[in-house]
């Protein structure tokens, strides 16, 4: 059954077969603080090598940047439109803290998104 890229990103699965795990843990915080932010080298199901070339995951920084900007923009819009906050200092603090607190989730998703951009789903 073909599940696709969205499934792969949000379920921590191999982009090719959608069965083997990419990260060692499904919890982004546990992954970063207790597994040292390391992912599996190969897929346990189809043996796909995740790091396509040396330094491949440096590219995930672009995705990470996009996710961070997206999160910041979303919080800014919600704060301005719904809560009508106008204090730029408070807004900056809220956005900065949110990005910091969600950094492990950002890291977790950005590598999966970056890998999915280069590997086709062939299941
Ligand atoms: Zn696989």
Given a cut of 90, whether residue 99 has pLDDT beyond it is yes
Q: Tell whether the torsion through CA atoms of 8, 69, 87 and 104 is positive or negative.
A: positive
Which residues fall inside 5 Å of ion ligand 1, going by CB? 14, 16-17, 20, 43, 45-46, 48
Cβ neighbours around 2 below 10 Å, total? 8
Query: pLDDT tens-digit profile of 46-71?
Result: 999 999 999 999 999 999 999 999 99
Cβ atoms of 16 and 119 within 8 Å: the answer is yes
Please tell me the pTM assigned to this model.
0.88
CA of 77 to the centre of ligand 1 (A): 39
Query: pLDDT tens-digit profile of 4-47?
Result: 899 999 999 999 999 999 999 999 999 999 999 999 999 999 99
CA of 49 to the centre of ligand 1 (A): 9
Distance CA 100, CA 68 (A): 10
């Amino acid at each position: 059954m073909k599940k696709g890229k969205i499934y792969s990103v949000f379920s921590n699965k191999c982009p090719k077969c959608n069965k083997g795990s990419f990260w060692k843990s499904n919890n982004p915080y546990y992954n970063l603080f207790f597994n040292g932010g390391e992912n599996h080298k190969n897929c346990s199901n189809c043996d796909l090598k995740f790091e396509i070339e040396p330094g491949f995951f440096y590219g995930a920084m672009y995705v990470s940047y996009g996710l961070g900007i997206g999160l910041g923009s979303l919080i800014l819009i919600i704060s301005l439109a719904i809560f009508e906050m106008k204090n730029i200092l408070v807004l900056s603090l809220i956005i900065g803290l949110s990005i910091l607190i969600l950094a492990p989730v950002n890291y977790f998703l950005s590598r999966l998104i970056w890998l999915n951009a280069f590997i086709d789903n062939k299941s």
